[in-house]
Structure 1
Amino acid sequence: MLDMLTLDQLRVFVSVAESGSFRAGAARLSRVQSAVSHAIANLEAELGLTLFDRTGHRPVLTAEGQALLSNARDILLRIDALKARARGLGEGIELELSLTVDTLFPIDAVGAALAAMRAAYPTVSIRLAVEPLGGPMTSLIEKRSALAIVVGEDFRDPRIAFEAISSVDQVAVVSAGHPLALRQSGGSIGLADLADHLQIVLSDPTPVTGDRMFGVLSPQTCRVTGQDAKHAMILAGLGWGRLPHWQVARDLAEGRLVRLATGALGRDSQLAAEAYLAHRIDEPFGPAAAAFSQALKRQLGA
C-alpha cells in the first residue's frame, strides 16, 4: 500500500503541519478545506497511522506524525532539487563550475563571488583549486577548469581569453628577527646582500615555466609548493621572499614581518601585478560562470 503514496499527499501533510490547521493548509495550497482533509485521510490510510489528533480545536501532530514530518520534508526538498536541476539542464545551466585560482589572488573575494553565484544558481556544484604559477593556465588548457584567475603577464596562450579584473600588490618581506631585517637601519640592501640569504620561492606544479626563474635573485633557495607554506617559512625566519600584500598586511602592521629596505624589488619593496579572469575561447561562459564573473567584479570594484 505504501507504493500508492503521492507527492501531493506529502505536500498537503507538510502544509497542514506547518500552518497549524486544515483551513490554513488549504489556503496555503489554494484548495478547499475538504480536499485537504481528504488528502490527509488517504495518507493516514496508506500509512496505517494517525498523523493528526483532531480531538481539540486545532489538529495537533501525533507522535507518529511528528516523527514522519522530517522525512516528508526531506523527500519534498529532494524532489524540488531534482526539478530545479532538470530545469537548469533545460536552460543550459552548468552542473558544475570549475575554477582554478592563482595562489597570489585573495581567496576571500573568490568565496564571496561564489556565494553570490550559488544564491542565483543553487543547483550548481563547485570545484575549486588554488595553484601557483602555471597551474591556472594549465587547468584551462587541459580542460580541468572552465575558469581561471591568472596573476601576471608570464603565462599566455592563444586559446585563452583574458579580462583584467584587478591588481595584486606583492611585497618583499622578511621576519622581524632575520639578519636582513636587523640591517634595515644601515642603509639600502643591495642585490648582493639578498643573494647572501635564503630566498623562499614557489615551485611550479606544471611544466609550463620550464627553466624560467621568476623573481629568483638568490642562488640559495627554499622551494615550496604553496603560498601558505611560503608565508609560514618567511614568518619563521628561514629566509626572505615576496608575498601578496593582502596576506601580510596584518603581519606588517603588528611587526612580525618587515619590508626589505631595498630599491631593487620595487618602490617600497612592492610591485603590482595585473590579475585576469581567463577562460577558453572555445568554451564561452555559461549562466553560472557569467554570474560568478559579475559577482567577482562587484567584489573587486572592477
Structure 2
Amino acid sequence: MKEAPIDLRAWRQFVAVAEELHFGRAALRLHMTQPPVTQAIAQLERTLGVLLFDRTRRRVALTPAGEALLPEVRELLARAQALPSRARAAAAGEVGRVRLAFVSTIGFDQLPGWVRAFREHSPQVVLELVEATGDVQLRDLQRGDIDAGLMLHSPGFAPPGLSHLRVAVEPLVLALPEHHPLAAAPQLPWAAVLGEPLVIFPRRIAPSLHDAVFGLYHAAGRLPVVAQEAIQMQTIVNLVSAGLGLAWVPESVMQFRRTGVVYRTPDRTGARGRKQPAVPLCETSLVWLEGDAHPALDRFVGFVRERMEEGG
C-alpha cells in the first residue's frame, strides 16, 4: 500500500518538539497554540505507525525511533530550505553539469588549464570529460549524450548547424621517424616529402582537414600514398615512430614527445625557386547545438570566450 506523504510542516513541528522537549515551548517557537501541535505530532505518529515521544505529566522524551529520525529530518529541512537558492543558482548556470567531449590535441595544452581554472571559477558545475573524435562528437551531440565538443577542422569549416567558438588555429607540421634520411636533412624538399608513404586519420574523423592534406598533394600534382590510417593523433605518431610513414599533425602534437619521432616544417621553395603550396592550417572549435537552453553550458562557453579574449 502506498504511504501517504508527510508535508514539511509536520516535520518542522516534530523537530521543534524534539529540540524543546516541551509541547508548550515548541508551540511558542512555532507561533502556534499547543493543542494543534499536540494533534499534529499524534497524527504524525499514526501515519508512521511508531511513537516518536514518550509523554508523561513531568517530561517529554524522544523514543529510540524519534532519536533515529531527528538527524534525518534536520537534513531534510535544511535541504528543502536550500532548494530556492539552488534553483536560482541552476538557472544562472552556477550549478549543474557540462558533458564535454574533446579531441586529443586540445588535451596537450589548453584543456588542462581550462579545467583547472573553470573549477575555481564555478566549483559547483561538474565538467564530465570524454575523449572522442569529431565524428563521434557530432553523433553524440545529436543524441544528447554530450553538451559540447572540442573538435578539429580546417579554418572556416566548422560543422554546419552548430554554434561554435574558435579556440585555436595552428599549422600542420611533419612528423618523421627519427632515423629517416629526411629527419636530419638541412631542408625538406617537397618532392621528397610528398613521395613518402603517409600515415593519416580516416576522412570521417575530420573531413575538411583530411581534404586539406590531400589538397596539398594534389596542388603539387601528386597523389598521396596512404600507408596506414589511425584515429588518435598519439597512435599516428607511434606509427611514424615504427617507420610506417610520415604524418601531417597539428603543431600542438609536438608536445607529445614520442621517442623515435622528430617534427619538421618543409621548405616551401621548390625547384627553380618556385613557391610550393602553403601548409594547411588546423582549427579547433568549441561546438554545441544551436539554441540549446543549458545555463551551465552557457557559463562554460562564456568562460572559454573570456579566456580566448585574454589570450588563451
TM tier, shorter chain?
Answer: 0.5 to 0.7
SS of structure 1 residue aligned to 2:254: helix
Count of aligned positions: 237
Structure whose alpha-carbon radius of gyration is higher: 2
Correspondence for 2:54: none
Q: 1:281 to 1:43 in 2, by over 3 A?
A: farther
| Matched-pair contact (CA < 8 Å) for 2:108–2:256 | no
What displacement does 1:97 show?
A: 0.8
1:181–1:260 Cα contact (<8 Å) kept: no
Match of 2:24 in 1: none
Aligned mates of 2:276, 2:99 — CA distance in 1: 37
Residue in structure 2 matched with residue 190 of structure 1 by the alignment: 190
Per-residue CA distance 1:229-288 (angstroms, 9 max, x = gap): 112222333321122222215749x9951415342899998643333222211204x332
Report if the CA contact (8 A) 1:170-1:272 is conserved. yes
Equivalent position of 1:293 in the other structure: 301
Contact map agreement 2:179 2:260 (CA 8 A) in 1: no
Out of 204, 223, 232, the position equivalent to 1:226 is 232
Residue 174 of structure 1 deviates from its aligned partner by: 1.0
The answer to which of 149-158 and 222-231 deviates more is 149-158
Three-state SS of the structure 1 residue aligned to 2:182 is: helix
The alpha-carbon deviation at position 83 of structure 1 amounts to 5.4
SS at 2:102 equivalent: strand
Q: What is the CA–CA distance in structure 1 between the aligned matches of 2:197 and 2:225, rounded to whole Å?
A: 8
The range that moved more, 243-252 or 217-226, is 243-252
What is the CA–CA distance in structure 2 between the aligned matches of 1:264 and 1:133, rounded to whole Å?
34
| 1:114/1:88 CA distance change after superposition, 3 Å | farther
Deviation string 1:172-209 (CA, Å, 9 cap, x unpaired) is 22122113324x24x54224x33442211112566x84
Q: Once superposed, what is the RMSD of the aligned Cα atoms?
A: 4.7
- Rounded to whole Å, the distance in 2 between the matches of 1:229 and 1:43 is 69
Structure 1 stretches lacking a partner, 5+ long = 1-5, 9-41, 48-71
In the alignment, is the contact (CA less than 8 A) between 2:174 and 2:266 conserved in 1? no
Alpha-carbon distance change, 201 to 87 in structure 1, aligned in 2, over 3 angstroms = same
Q: Which residue of 2 aligns with 1:278?
A: 287
Q: Please state how far the C-alpha of 1:167 moved relative to its aligned partner.
A: 1.7
Query: Could you say which residue in structure 2 is the equivalent of 1:166?
Result: 168
Of 244, 247, 251 in structure 2, the residue corresponding to residue 238 of structure 1 is 244
Map 1:1-302; keep pairs closer than 5 Å: 87-88=86-87, 91-92=90-91, 93=93, 95-151=96-152, 152-153=154-155, 155-182=157-184, 184-185=185-186, 188-191=188-191, 193-203=192-202, 209=207, 213-216=211-214, 217=217, 218-249=224-255, 251=257, 256-263=261-268, 271-284=280-293, 286-300=294-308, 301=311
Following the alignment from structure 1 to structure 2, what is the Cα–Cα distance between the partners of residues 109 and 84? 35
**Structure 1 residues 262 and 137, CA, compared in 2 at 3 Å: closer, same or farther?**
farther
- Measure, in 2, the Cα distance between the counterparts of 1:264 and 1:106: 33
Aligned residue identity for 2:249: L
TM-score (norm 2): 0.56
TM-score, structure 1 as length reference: 0.58
Could you tell me the percent identity over the aligned residues? 13
Q: Aligned in 2, Cα 1:274/1:264: closer, same or farther, shift over 3 Å?
A: farther
Task: Name the aligned partner's letter for residue 242 of structure 1.
Answer: W
3-state SS of 1:178 partner: coil
